[in-house]
């Protein structure tokens, strides 16, 4: 092990599962790497080397060795072992991200603490990550599983990443929009909506509307130059189609979206506004339609209990007019 300054690499021999590994951390590249090293000292990385960017590490925790030993039977021969676990992102197919854990072992307690401290300091230096979020949950959207999806798949990840939250379960339409106009959002690093495209639209209108109100901008003026909001919006998909989530993240997987929020990923999107007679009708970010499409969507809203098939059913009931 070499001494490590603020920008110097750290390299040690640690154990991963039952493999003796060389482990390196390069602050300049912000990269954690490990590879099998069966010899007496660290070896050069081979084709089997694993790596994870520091930006995709969720958290680093000291591991309860006794509990791990009793459950896995590993390291019974190691005298007084110490360990730490790195929780990180693993990229899967179809744009999905998974939460994985890698546990590193050593008989040297000070060495484990050095790795813990160094990794935690690097994580704390990532200023783009949210620390406090306001979460709106639509319990009625999609299949009505928004609350369950958040509690089972998202909340544990936010807790692991030390993100605190305030949760509002909506009870009626436009509640999220109305709430954002009423409250002070300065203490939040972002707004998370759990639901479908309608829930995202509510939050979008609330965030943009509140920003213009605070800046003294009249959104009803078609030529008004709107002030961009610094508040980011995160989407946990729990709707019927999740169009916006697909177009930004590439999938409608709740864990994937939660991990993107945790690591501080952001994507700028264009927003269009629709006016009529100098009155703002709404903002749009995904698609905008009228005529047959508008009739279809309006009718399908009355049949949400049917699920996705409601669009086909409404399409048969609302044939396009022939001229």
pLDDT tens, N- to C-terminus, the chain (323 residues): 443 444 578 999 999 988 999 999 988 889 999 999 887 666 778 788 999 999 999 999 999 866 554 444 444 555 568 999 999 999 999 999 999 999 999 999 999 999 999 999 999 999 999 999 999 999 988 888 999 999 999 999 999 999 999 999 999 999 999 999 999 999 999 999 999 999 999 999 999 999 999 999 999 999 999 999 999 999 999 988 899 999 999 999 999 999 999 999 999 999 999 999 999 999 998 777 777 777 887 888 787 777 778 778 888 877 665 44
Residues 226 and 139 in one domain: yes
- Compute the radius of gyration of the chain from its Cα atoms: 25
Instruction: Say which residues have a Cβ less than 8 Å from residue 136's Cβ, sequence separation at least 6.
Output: 168, 170, 175, 176, 179, 191, 192, 193, 194, 195, 199, 202, 203
Q: List the domain range (segments joined by +) for residue 76.
A: 10-124
Query: What's the domain count of the chain?
Result: 2
Separation CA 184–CA 187 (nearest Å)? 8
Residues 177 and 93 in one domain: no
Separation CA 258–CA 270 (nearest Å)? 22
Last residue of a domain, one of 90, 124, 158: 124
**Bridge partners, 61 (sequence order):** 85
Last residue of a domain, one of 65, 89, 124: 124
Helices (H) and strands (E) in the chain, counts: 10, 13
Out of 197, 242, 253, 265, which one is annotated catalytic?
197
The answer to whether position 307 is within a domain reads no
| The pLDDT of residue 1 | 41
The answer to whether position 25 is within a domain reads yes
Instruction: Say which residues have a Cβ less than 8 Å from residue 58's Cβ, sequence separation at least 6.
Output: 87, 88, 89, 99, 157, 160, 161, 259, 262, 263
Tokens of 42: 């660290």
Q: Is 197 a catalytic residue?
A: yes
- What are the distances in angstroms from CA 123 to CA 204, 261, 273? 29, 15, 38
Residues 255 and 224 in one domain: yes
| The pLDDT of residue 83 | 95
Q: How many CA atoms lie within 13 A of 140 on its CB side?
A: 11
pTM of the model: 0.88
CB 296, CB 316: distance < 8 Å: no
| The pLDDT of residue 68 | 53
Residues 139 and 275 in one domain: yes
Task: Return phi, psi of residue 167, to 5°.
Answer: -115, 135
Residues 171 and 246 in one domain: yes
The answer to whether position 199 is within a domain reads yes
Residues 256 and 151 in one domain: yes
Tokens of 214: 């605070």
Instruction: Say which residues have a Cβ less than 8 Å from residue 76's Cβ, sequence separation at least 6.
Output: 69
Residues 156 and 282 in one domain: yes
Instruction: Say which residues have a Cβ less than 8 Å from residue 98's Cβ, sequence separation at least 6.
Output: 89, 90, 91, 92, 255
| The pLDDT of residue 311 | 76
Residues 281 and 145 in one domain: yes
Last residue of a domain, one of 124, 150, 180: 124
């Amino acid at each position: 092990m070499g001494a490590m300054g603020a920008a110097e690499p750290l390299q040690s021999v640690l154990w991963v599962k039952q493999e003796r590994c060389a482990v390196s951390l390069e602050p300049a590249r912000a990269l954690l790497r490990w590879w099998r090293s069966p010899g007496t000292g660290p070896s050069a990385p081979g084709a089997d080397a694993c790596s994870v960017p520091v930006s995709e590490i969720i958290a680093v925790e000291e591991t309860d060795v006794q509990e791990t030993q009793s459950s896995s039977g590993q390291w019974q021969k190691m005298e007084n072992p110490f360990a730490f676990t790195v929780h990180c992102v693993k990229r899967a197919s179809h744009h999905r991200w998974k939460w994985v854990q890698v546990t590193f072992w050593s008989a040297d307690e000070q060495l484990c603490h050095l790795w813990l401290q160094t990794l935690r300091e690097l994580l704390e230096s990532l200023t783009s990550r949210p620390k406090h979020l306001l979460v709106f949950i639509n319990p009625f959207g999609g299949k009505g599983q928004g609350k369950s999806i958040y509690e089972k798949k998202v909340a544990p990840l936010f807790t692991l990443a030390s993100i605190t939250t305030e949760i509002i379960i909506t009870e009626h339409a436009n509640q999220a929009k109305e709430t954002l106009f009423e409250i002070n959002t300065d203490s939040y690093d972002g707004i998370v909506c759990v639901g479908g495209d309608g829930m995202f639209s509510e939050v979008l209108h609330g965030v943009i509307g509140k920003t213009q109100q605070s800046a003294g901008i009249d959104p009803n003026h078609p030529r008004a130059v709107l002030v961009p909001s610094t508040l980011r919006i995160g989407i946990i998909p729990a709707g019927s189609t999740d169009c916006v989530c697909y177009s930004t993240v590439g999938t409608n997987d709740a864990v994937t979206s939660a991990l993107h929020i945790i690591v501080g990923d952001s994507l700028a999107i264009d927003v269009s506004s629709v006016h009529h007679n100098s009155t703002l009708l709404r903002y749009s970010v995904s698609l905008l339609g009228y005529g047959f499409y508008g009739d279809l969507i309006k009718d399908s809203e009355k049949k949400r209990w049917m699920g996705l098939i409601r669009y086909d059913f409404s399409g048969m009931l609302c044939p396009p007019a022939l001229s």
